[in-house]
Amino acid sequence: MSRNKDVLPPRILHLHSTFDAGGKELRCARLINAFGPKVHHTIVSAEEGAYGAAKAITPGANVSYPADFPSLQGKPTPARCQAIARRMAAHSLVLTYNWGAMDAVMGHTLFRDKLGLPPLIHHEDGFGEDEAQRRKLRRTWFRRIALGKSNGLVVPSETLEGIALTEWQQPIGRVKRIANGIDTKSFARKPEKDALRGVVKHDGEFWVGTVAGLRAVKNLPALVRAFAKLPEPWQLVIVGQGPEEKAIRDEAERLDISHRLHMPGFAPDPARYIGLFDIFALSSDSEQFPISLVEAMAAGLPVAAPAVGDIADMVSEGNIPYIADPAAPDELGNALLSLSQDNDLRKAVGAANCDRAREKYDEKTMIAAYRRLYSSAMRRDSLP
């Protein structure tokens, strides 16, 4: 088959489980920015109104958010799958993300040949709270069938790659592992004290910080409990938005540390402010390859986090002692306490993390890999 001669600008349809600001959503925004305005992007969220990551897309990008797109949620009946599939036909490439878009993947497999649908590439970045500990058998079987005619399955971590090959029984040629990357140099800048909207770092303060969607799987009340071991003048800064905000604030109130909790909401461009943190922390029940962790490493921060997904392999060797056993609730707090008590230790671990991020996780490699994959699927020589 001859390759497309790139006569028409590509039109890419993005079907997301949510487009609120989280790791996969912000990666998508960075790729949209990198591909430039000659590529048209249509973005749909399975969660109504969940489009917080749109703030990270460069003004002037060629992006639309159709209000009349068939719902990605509901029973996966043939009629509903077909309705979703019909809306794919006007595009050059369909990109789907996580379980929340899996009905669209099924629709593509069922109706690809009949409707002459464009290629589809699915992205799996991790699991929600309902599969944080164990995958559901019904979903495993659904994925095996739905992915049957996809052109690729992208995963960011070795853990997910193994799941895709064994549990989901995907052929090795379909599974593509692309590590998340960032512009590591941009995180080397020293931030201003007021770089984070609504929160100013005062002299003598120390910050434990995180950047995350406020969803149940992130288990941020556990981070509040871990942080409670730290004395004044340590502050906890949680950057992000989502449905778990009240639960986080309630836990801080219960522990009488609400005066040390700061939640400024979503803040774009973490390179401007993540360097204000003295320790970066995660408390997720499930992660695979969190972009926020790479950003923190590039900013020269030590990390306290549970050993889920690839986290223990991502950080520098010197940081490994502060990666906690997720089955031992006290370990995360102990890791934070140890790091909080030794400024020289924090600097040494942070410097080693920075070196590792620059060596392994720069976004140029990631963007080039996605550009090649998407262009190949559309049979184009390259994206504009």
Is the same domain home to 292 and 367?
A: no
Cα–Cα distance for residue pair 293/157, rounded to 1 Å: 13
- Does the residue 317 lie in any domain? yes
CA distance 8 to 4: 9
Is residue 272 one of the residues assigned to a domain?
Answer: yes
Cβ(280)–Cβ(206) below 8 Å: no
Please check whether residue 5 lies inside any domain of the structure.
Answer: no
Domain holding 39, by residue range, is 11-181+363-377
- Summarize pLDDT for 2-35 with one digit per residue, the tens: 454 456 899 999 999 999 988 899 899 999 999 9
User: Tell me, what's the pLDDT at 6?
Assistant: 56
Distance of alpha carbon 271 from alpha carbon 294, whole angstroms: 11
Residues 171 and 199 in one domain: no
Please give the Cα distance from 81 to 34 (Å, whole number). 31
The rounded mean pLDDT for the chain is: 94
Q: In this predicted structure, what is the pLDDT of residue 2?
A: 43
228 and 338 within one domain: yes
212 and 154 fall within a common domain: no
φ, ψ for residue 63, nearest 5 deg: -135, 140
| 254 domain-assigned | yes
For residues 186-215, give the mean pLDDT.
93
Single-letter amino acid code for the residue at 109: T
Pair (142, 188) in one structural domain: no
Give the whole-angstrom CA distance, residue 275 versus residue 252. 24
In this structure, the answer to whether residues 124 and 136 fall within a common structural domain is yes
Instruction: Indicate the SS3 state at residue 15.
Output: strand
Inside any domain, residue 382? no
Report CA Rg, the chain: 21
Note whether residue 1 is domain-resident: no
Residues 193 and 290 in one domain: yes
Question: Domain tally for the chain?
Answer: 2
Same domain, 35 and 166: yes
Looking at residue 112, what DSSP letter applies?
A: H
- Read off the CATH number of the domain in which 91 is found: 3.40.50.2000
- In this predicted structure, the answer to whether residue 276 has a pLDDT above a threshold of 50 is yes
Same domain membership, residue 161 and residue 306:
no
Is 322 inside a domain boundary? Answer: yes
| Residue burial 127-151, b: 16+ Cβ < 10 Å; e: rest | bbeebbeebeeebeebbeebbebbb
pLDDT in tens, 118-166: 999 999 998 877 786 788 999 999 999 999 999 999 999 998 999 999 9
Q: Are residues 56 and 87 in the same domain?
A: yes
130 & 232 share domain: no
Q: Give the N- to C-terminal CA distance of the chain in Å, as an integer.
A: 22
- Predicted TM-score of the model (pTM): 0.78
Q: How many CB atoms lie within 10 A of CB 360?
A: 14
Residue 147 lies in a domain: yes
